[in-house]
Structure 1
Amino acid sequence: MSRFFGEIRQAGYVVPDIEAAMDYWSRVLGVGPFFYNPKVPIRNYRYKGEAYEPHNSVALANSGPLQIELIQCRNDVPSMYRDFRELGHTGLQHVAYWTDSYEADLERLLAQGFEPVMSGEVGERGRFVYFDTHYHPGTVIELSEVAGPKGEMFRLIRDAAADWDGKNPVRPFPDLNKL
């Protein structure tokens, strides 16, 4: 556990082919089921202070308490994922810490000198921010608000993994508006 942030709750992998990555993780590593969204609806997306409209495909599954996130960029919008890929990297790009006290934790991290690079919102009470912590591949830090519908979706994904029998390895994202 990080003495600064608490438990790492998610490992985020940037992949060139999300369908192949889901197949590998579920078939070879036995992690699943993956909940897949071919186009994540990100609101208020900012990268280095500028607004953009990213098209990212995302798949989420749990291995115990750790959530695995697979990310494929579908357009060339500026992002930390694109930067990672353009440096020739694939694989682990970030680790995420979850919070239900987003404002307080963000304020604390800003006061400690962390600099936001990328941010946005997924659903209600689903804000996220990535900090300028890319010291070597896989070390970007994300602070993710996990409350409301997003928190409920993450609970459903974790619960599905706990009893997963290997069948139906790819499933659609639950509708955040109905959680």
Structure 2
Amino acid sequence: MSTFLGPIRQLGYVVDDIEAGMKYWSETMGVGPWYYNPAVPIQDYTYDGQRHDVTNSVALANSGEMQVELIQTRSDTPSMYRDFKDRGLRGLQHVAFWTRDYDRDLQMMLDRGFTPKMSGFVGKNGRFVYFAEEHHPGTCIELSEVMGPKGRMFDLIRDAANGWDGSDPVRPFPDLSGE
């Protein structure tokens, strides 16, 4: 386990074809089921301090306690995913630490000299921030709040992976608008 912010909880992969990615991970790697949203409702999205509207497709599944995220950009909106692709890279783009005390952990990252590059939120109490420092080629750190609907969704995804038999490999995201 990391002594930094606890265990790494998610591996985020940038892909060109998310449907092919889900098929590969479920059929070849045995990871699933996948919870898929073709247009994740990211609110208050900023990149380099500028607000933008962004369209990304995301699929989430667990392998044990580790969540795998597949991300396909659907627009040319500035993002760290687009930057990653523009450098000719595909694959592991970020590792995510999950927090139930976002403000405290964000302040700790800022105190350590990390610079927010991309941020927003998904559902109530679902804030996230990606940091500019890339201490490993192509891989950055995300801090993700897992309270409210997003936290419950992550629990549902982990629980669905336990004993998954390969059936119903792609499922829709649950509603994240509730309390």
TM-score by length of 2: 0.97
Q: CA RMSD for the aligned pairs?
A: 1.0
The answer for unaligned runs of 5 or more in structure 1 is none
Question: Which residue number in structure 2 is paired with residue 161 of structure 1?
Answer: 161
Assess if the C-alpha contact under 8 Å between 1:89 and 1:137 holds in 2. no
Partner SS for 1:2: coil
Name the SS for the 2:113 alignment partner: coil
Alpha-carbon distance in 1 for matches of 2:22, 2:41:
20
Q: Report SS of the residue matched to 2:71.
A: strand
Cα distance, 1:136 vs. partner? Answer: 3.6
Q: Contact conserved, 2:39 with 2:57, CA < 8 A, in 1? A: yes
SS at match of 2:68: strand
What do the CA deviations read for 1:111-132 (whole angstroms, capped 9, x no partner)? 1111000000000000000001
**Residue matched to 2:89:** 89
Give the counterpart letter for 1:150 in structure 2: K
Identity %: 64
Cα offset for 1:135? 3.5
Aligned length: 179
| Partner residue, 1:140 | 140
* 1:5, distance to aligned residue in structure 2 (A): 1.6
Corresponding letter in the other structure for 1:15 = V
Q: Which amino acid aligns with 2:161?
A: A
Question: Are the equivalent residues in 2 in contact too, given 1:12–1:96 (CA < 8 A)?
Answer: yes
For the 8 Å contact 2:124–2:178, the answer to whether it is kept is no
Is the Cα contact below 8 Å between 1:11 and 1:92 reproduced in 2? yes
State the distance in 1 between where 2:53 and 2:178 align.
24
> Are 2:60 and 2:157, in contact at CA under 8 Å, matched by a contact in 1?
yes
Report the TM-score when normalising by structure 1: 0.97
Q: Deviations over 1:120-166 (max 9, x none)?
A: 00000000000012244342000000011110000000000002110
